[in-house]
Structure 1
Amino acid sequence: MARDRRKKPKYLFFQGRHWFVLVCLVMGTMALAVRGLYVQVIDNDLLQAEGLERQVRVLKMMPARGKILDRRGHVLAVSTPVDAIWAHPASLRQARADWPRLANTLGMETADIGRILKRNINKGFVYIKRSLSPALASQVAALGVRGVYRQREYHRYYPAGRIAGHLLGFTDVDDRGQEGAELAFENHLGGVVGQKRVRRDRRGHTVENLDQISPVHHGRELRLSIDVRIQFAAHQALARTLVEHKAAGGTAIVLDSRTGEILAMVNLPEFNPNDRSTFNTNVMRNRAVTDIFEPGSTVKPFTLSLALQSGIFTPDTKIPTSPGVLVLDRRRIRDIRDYGVLTLANVLVKSSNIGTAKIALELNPSQLVTTLQSVGFGQLTGVELPGERSGVLQSKERWRLSEHATLSYGYGLSVTALQLARAYMVLANGGVLKPITIRRREELPRGERVLPSDVVGQINQMLEHVVVKGTGQ
């Protein structure tokens, strides 16, 4: 009996531990049952949504950018399909063993992949490489690397290359217009991105197209007024002229005086929109509309048109220019030599600064400003190209004699090359100013008469003599 009593406390100890373990097992089983009930019934919708989210993705459908054509339908800009390779950083980090294969296929270093992921560690999307040929992108997709995907994009190509670089501009890596017509008509050319919902497998490959959230709208075609043949001829002529005169740069513009259409617009030096190594901010601007300069003697026909309208002068009115120097407000106005007495017509033929100044001093300076404004100086042309400037043409209440005189032969104001071309289009149109455009026109535009036709006829006869026997030879 004594031996049994000594063993009883130990037996009770083991018996208590047995009940403790049993209670824990029962409670654990009940907890699992409750959790199972919660998952299957209470939280079922949430978990299903999370699972669906891991399988279903919303993808962008990129639009194809519209073509740019010349007036005869020749392609000036077209988008060709390319692919981008992108990744989900967290997934690709877990597939580190596949980095060498991925890098080798893409022509990259394995360390490059690591650097890209490190810079975008908290993002859900990162480009690995863009503008790949579809064939190369297919090779990458065939690797089956976890978290790596391909996306269709487009690359812009310009068949005319440097011949029309300033006019057309270029697009960025996302195929968005950055300069020239590409930027000016972005809304027309760019299109609208679409979206679709797809199902993917555990490696991220699309296995089913579920539905379309929003349709993709491809960009529209744009037909310009440019004739690529005339553009090429203008480029060649300008290049020869720069060499002949040892000039650093120049601009050539060809307008259709009937329609106001721009047939050619060339700047040198140029850049090639197909070769980004030629891109330079000083070279890429379209100087035909962005750069202003004093037009000099090219303004003289408009000064003389005002003189002929005044009734004070005729083409045969004699103007003394000796001794080849005129001093106004202590400022010297010179001709290249002493022309003696010139008729008004010969003032233009010889391009006499003194003759033009003396004629202008007989006229009201405000009327001269109005005449210059009427042919488009000092205001935007309205052409749909980015960066256009209006130039400078001041209107004053009081004019010094020297200011009045120098304005008459093109100093004291500034214009763009396109403004100057439009002003001369007025002379070609018999005194009618028409709106100019870079887009092809189907109908003749209505113009505004700004100079009398008989006066313009007289000025044009003088200009013919300028190129035959005058300073324009």
Structure 2
Amino acid sequence: MSRDAPNGVTPRRPPPMAPMGRARYIVIMTLVLVGLGLLVGRIVDLHVFDHSFLQGQGDARTLRVDEIPAHRGMITDRHGDPLAISTPVVTLWANPQDLPDDGIQRLRLAQALGQDLDALDARIERYADREFMYLQRRMTPAEAQEVLDLHVPGVHARREYKRYYPAGEVTAQLLGVTNIDDQGQEGLELAYQPYLAGVPGKRRVLKDRRGRLVRDLEVLEDAQPGGDLTLSIDQSLQYMAYRELKKAVDENEADGGTLVMLDADTGEVLAMANQPSYNPNNRAGLDPEGLRNQAIVDVFEPGSVMKPLAMSALLETGKFPPDTVVDTSPGWMVIDGYTIRDVSNNGKLSLAGILRKSSNIGMSKLTLQLDEPRVPQRYRALGFDRAPGTGFPGEATGSVPSPQVWSSSQWAALSYGYGLSVSALQLASAYTAIANHGRRLPPSLLRLSKTPKGEPVIEPAVADRVLGMMDEVVAPGTGARRGMVPGYSVAGKTGTVRKTGSGGYQERTYRALFVGIAPVSDPRIIAVVMIDHPRGDAYYGGAIAAPVFSRVAGNALRLLDVPPDRPSQDDDA
């Protein structure tokens, strides 16, 4: 027994390490030491030799590139008066994870935002797992500052722009609107979106880990503001046209109406008004019906206002000398089983008398003497089968029927304005050919730097002759006498069109129209007035639409400083 062993127990010696176990141990320890050496070496390298890597990684977590909003271009009238401008606003946003749970702070925030506390709490809860939510879009800087002065953690501000329309509902359908991100959605705002929007800039900023701005560092790219757009509209004429149109629609309990006024020398649109309308600065409760620019995108059967244009085609054939007389008795006729009627039995009428009395019988009998479709050909030449080319979104093309489907009754109907569809802008543009010795001018919504040459579509002598006939239409004792303008000569034509429904033409449902050119001696303006479904006792174009033209044209000629050319003319109405 060993003397060192207590209690007589002999200790056991550890067995010697196996050769393979020792080798594995050495390999593992070597790998650990090599890995540790590499790690230390990398740390030394990053801190001493390649410290820019760590700096870059740090910057990537604190440096950001933010967008600098571009100022949207202004839209003005032809004189530079603003019609659409962008004003600076502030959008408040928050990181829901940073917002305090304290009920008092939440209540103060909700009150400053003008929001219900429960609704705000619900929104914060809904975005709890995100780092961004809007609190309030497009606030005035003063309103936003009141919220920021509360110093609520997690609340931040971002500068934006909001579109404002000084003329409100007066120019609503023409200009259109932008959405909450200041992008064009309707009208000219949409048509010229790339031009008006500009190009946002870029800036480098320093932010903390929660996305809060610490410091502006540098501007990388300056924002490029959008271009300004100068329209052909005269704001004074636009206000006046809108006021008179709205008054007529209200007084006659009509569904709506449209008024288009062109510069007879250039084809520029001086005024374009629609009813119903809306306030683009406050779209709460907006009726989508008011968004449409009816003058450009809607079409209708024009009726008798087409007769002067059809007459120009008839006169160019050479078959109807100035002394031509047409017997319209007994005031009705049957073609292909359809009855065509005049308002009354007008007996024998001259060519000018046919326009003055607005005789459907007279126009039909003249047209049916032709062997070729001269009237529809004239309509196409005047642009009634294609878009006006203004660039306005959704502009109507109109419709002239194909010659393969014409019957005698359809051929006759075209001569007095039935069987085709046109827009108010197309109609006004067609009459530039009558006012300009046969040259049709394309309509323009933008101010032109020079007068367009136009397209010759009517023989000059014929255009002048038709203009003279229309001068006789608007005279004392005629159905269009209410379209007269004191001090000025007026060439015009009325129209009263039955509207169609699911069962064909409807009873007591009409559109009242008037087309006028003034003054006759040197045409300066062309205007089309359409009142949709007047519900009063009167519904004829001469009674409903002509007075609107008279008031609008009279004011326009005076505002444009056009000298009177018929000061002795009196209205005996």
**Could you tell me whether the CA contact under 8 Å between 2:314 and 2:374 is conserved in 1?**
no
Q: Which of the residues 131, 141, 151 maps onto 1:134?
A: 141
Q: Which of the residues 275, 295, 302 maps onto 2:309?
A: 302
1:37 deviates by: 6.6
Higher mean alpha-carbon deviation, 129-138 vs 236-245, is at 236-245
Cα separation, 2, equivalents of 1:8 and 1:170? 102
> What residue number does 2:478 align with?
470
Distance 1:51 1:116, change over 3 A: farther
Which letter does structure 2 place at the counterpart of 1:92? Answer: D
Higher mean alpha-carbon deviation, 207-216 vs 125-134, is at 207-216
Distance 1:280 1:454, change over 3 A: same
1:299 deviates by: 0.8
Which letter does structure 2 place at the counterpart of 1:96? Answer: D
Cα separation, 2, equivalents of 1:205 and 1:288? 50
Q: Which of the residues 356, 359, 363 maps onto 2:363?
A: 356
**Could you tell me whether the CA contact under 8 Å between 2:431 and 2:440 is conserved in 1?**
no
1:69 deviates by: 0.8
For each residue in 1:20-43, what CA deviation from the matched residue of structure 2 results, as whole angstroms up to 9, or x when unmatched?
Answer: xxxxxxxx9x99998777666569
Query: Is 1:292 matched with 2:303?
Result: no
Query: Is 1:456 matched with 2:463?
Result: yes
1:292 deviates by: 0.6
> What residue number does 1:20 align with?
none
1:460 deviates by: 0.9
Cα separation, 2, equivalents of 1:180 and 1:410? 29
**Could you tell me whether the CA contact under 8 Å between 2:246 and 2:275 is conserved in 1?**
yes
Cα separation, 2, equivalents of 1:395 and 1:259? 31
User: Any residues of structure 2 matched to 1:301-450 within 5 Å, and which?
Assistant: 301-397=308-404, 399-450=406-457
> What residue number does 1:268 align with?
275
Q: Which of the residues 154, 163, 179 maps onto 2:161?
A: 154
Which letter does structure 1 place at the counterpart of 2:478? Answer: G
**Could you tell me whether the CA contact under 8 Å between 1:224 and 1:438 is conserved in 2?**
yes
Q: Report how many residues are paired.
A: 455
Cα separation, 2, equivalents of 1:213 and 1:375? 53
Cα separation, 2, equivalents of 1:56 and 1:419? 57
Query: Is 1:92 matched with 2:93?
Result: no
For each residue in 1:369-407, what CA deviation from the matched residue of structure 2 results, as whole angstroms up to 9, or x when unmatched?
Answer: 111111111111101211101011122135211111101
1:317 deviates by: 0.6
Distance 1:398 1:223, change over 3 A: closer
1:452 deviates by: 0.9
Query: Is 1:218 matched with 2:225?
Result: yes
Cα separation, 2, equivalents of 1:336 and 1:246? 24
> What residue number does 2:189 align with?
182
1:202 deviates by: 5.6
Tell me the secondary structure at the aligned position of residue 404 of structure 2.
Answer: coil
Higher mean alpha-carbon deviation, 68-77 vs 141-150, is at 141-150
**Could you tell me whether the CA contact under 8 Å between 2:314 and 2:375 is conserved in 1?**
no
Distance 1:139 1:57, change over 3 A: farther
Which letter does structure 1 place at the counterpart of 2:264? Answer: S
Higher mean alpha-carbon deviation, 144-153 vs 115-124, is at 115-124
1:92 deviates by: 2.7
For each residue in 1:179-219, what CA deviation from the matched residue of structure 2 results, as whole angstroms up to 9, or x when unmatched?
Answer: 11211111121111112110124664433222333321111
> What residue number does 1:238 align with?
245
Which letter does structure 1 place at the counterpart of 2:248? Answer: T
Cα separation, 2, equivalents of 1:211 and 1:117? 33
> What residue number does 1:5 align with?
6
1:367 deviates by: 2.0
Gaps of 5+ in 1: 10-27
Q: Which of the residues 76, 88, 98 maps onto 2:83?
A: 76
TM-score, normalised via structure 2 length: 0.73
Distance 1:59 1:147, change over 3 A: farther
Higher mean alpha-carbon deviation, 117-126 vs 239-248, is at 117-126
**Could you tell me whether the CA contact under 8 Å between 1:169 and 1:183 is conserved in 2?**
yes
For each residue in 1:104-158, what CA deviation from the matched residue of structure 2 results, as whole angstroms up to 9, or x when unmatched?
Answer: 3322344444433444456553322111111232333344444432111111111
Higher mean alpha-carbon deviation, 128-137 vs 280-289, is at 128-137
1:170 deviates by: 1.2
> What residue number does 2:565 align with?
none
> What residue number does 2:287 align with?
280
Distance 1:388 1:40, change over 3 A: farther
Tell me the secondary structure at the aligned position of residue 84 of structure 1.
Answer: strand
Distance 1:278 1:463, change over 3 A: farther
For each residue in 1:206-246, what CA deviation from the matched residue of structure 2 results, as whole angstroms up to 9, or x when unmatched?
Answer: 33222333321111111111001100111122123224443
Which letter does structure 2 place at the counterpart of 1:131? Answer: R
Which letter does structure 1 place at the counterpart of 2:226? Answer: G
User: Any residues of structure 2 matched to 1:36-115 within 5 Å, and which?
Assistant: 41=45, 48-89=55-96, 91-92=97-98, 95-97=100-102, 99-115=106-122
Q: Determine what percentage of the aligned residue pairs are the same residue.
A: 40
**Could you tell me whether the CA contact under 8 Å between 2:261 and 2:271 is conserved in 1?**
yes
For each residue in 1:86-114, what CA deviation from the matched residue of structure 2 results, as whole angstroms up to 9, or x when unmatched?
Answer: 2334x436x43454443333223444444
Higher mean alpha-carbon deviation, 103-112 vs 312-321, is at 103-112
Distance 1:432 1:4, change over 3 A: same
Tell me the secondary structure at the aligned position of residue 405 of structure 1.
Answer: helix
Tell me the secondary structure at the aligned position of residue 397 of structure 1.
Answer: helix
> What residue number does 1:14 align with?
none
Tell me the secondary structure at the aligned position of residue 276 of structure 1.
Answer: coil
**Could you tell me whether the CA contact under 8 Å between 2:352 and 2:472 is conserved in 1?**
no
Cα separation, 1, equivalents of 2:138 and 2:297? 32
Tell me the secondary structure at the aligned position of residue 339 of structure 2.
Answer: strand
Cα separation, 2, equivalents of 1:40 and 1:249? 81
**Could you tell me whether the CA contact under 8 Å between 2:314 and 2:320 is conserved in 1?**
yes
Higher mean alpha-carbon deviation, 170-179 vs 34-43, is at 34-43
Distance 1:141 1:364, change over 3 A: farther
1:298 deviates by: 0.8
Distance 1:123 1:390, change over 3 A: farther
TM-score, normalised via structure 1 length: 0.88
**Higher helix proportion:** 1
Tell me the secondary structure at the aligned position of residue 163 of structure 2.
Answer: strand
**Could you tell me whether the CA contact under 8 Å between 2:88 and 2:162 is conserved in 1?**
yes
Which letter does structure 1 place at the counterpart of 2:225? Answer: H
